[in-house]
């Protein structure tokens, strides 16, 4: 079954304690992206990756890091979480249009709800 898997689904942590949210896809997609979803703001892109070892900032990258060492995995790292990073996080993947961008049909994981106290 084609899917994007995120872990953990729920996490409560404290300010400053490093954490990693993992994301894995089994569709051989080149493009992967992280979004955060906040009430009234929709989805905002944090980081994206066009291929292995190729990552770039989205609209709200501050306080986050990512890596893309393998095609299937795209972990999101919060080095020193703060309460304003309390949010619902989604990982998404897509194939690309030739050497260009994603097709527009993103496949989303089920989300990771993070609370930072």
Partner 1 sequence: GNSVTQMEGPVTLSEEAFLTINCTYTATGYPSLFWYVQYPGEGLQLLLKATKADDKGSNKGFEATYRKETTSFHLEKGSVQVSDSAVYFCALSEDAGGTSYGKLTFGQGTILTVHP
Q: Is 23 in the site for partner 1 (CB under 8 A)?
A: no
CA distances from 4 to 20, 25, 85, 88, 108 (A): 16, 4, 22, 16, 6
Residue 108 contacts partner 1 per CB under 8 A: yes
The token pair at 27 is 């569709």
Q: Which two tokens stand for residue 58?
A: 């989205």
According to CB under 8 A, which residues from 31 to 50 bind partner 1? 35, 37, 40-45, 48, 50
Q: Which stretch binds partner 1 (CB under 8 A): 20-28, 62-70, 72-80, 98-106?
A: 98-106
User: Rg (Cα) of the chain, in Å, rounded?
Assistant: 13
CA distance 90 to 43: 9
* Residue 62 sits in the site that holds partner 1 (CB under 8 A): no
Question: Which stretch in 16-24, 60-68, 70-78, 93-101 sits in contact with partner 1 by CB under 8 A?
Answer: 93-101
Q: Which stretch binds partner 1 (CB under 8 A): 16-24, 63-71, 74-82, 103-111?
A: 103-111
Alpha-carbon gap, residue 38 to 80, rounded angstroms: 20
Binding site for partner 1 (CB under 8 A): 4, 35, 37, 40-45, 48, 50, 58, 90, 92, 97-98, 100-111
């Amino acid at each position: 079954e084609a899917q994007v898997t995120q872990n953990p689904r729920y996490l409560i942590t404290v300010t400053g304690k490093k954490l990693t949210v993992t994301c894995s896809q089994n569709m051989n997609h080149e493009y992967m992206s992280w979004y955060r979803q906040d009430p009234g703001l929709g989805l905002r892109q944090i980081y994206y990756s066009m291929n292995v070892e190729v990552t770039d900032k989205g609209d709200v990258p501050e306080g986050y890091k990512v890596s893309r060492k393998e095609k299937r995995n795209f972990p999101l790292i919060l080095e020193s979480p703060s309460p304003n990073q309390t949010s619902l996080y989604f990982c998404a993947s897509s194939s690309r249009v030739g050497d260009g961008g994603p097709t527009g049909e993103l496949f989303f994981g089920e989300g990771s709800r993070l609370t930072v106290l």
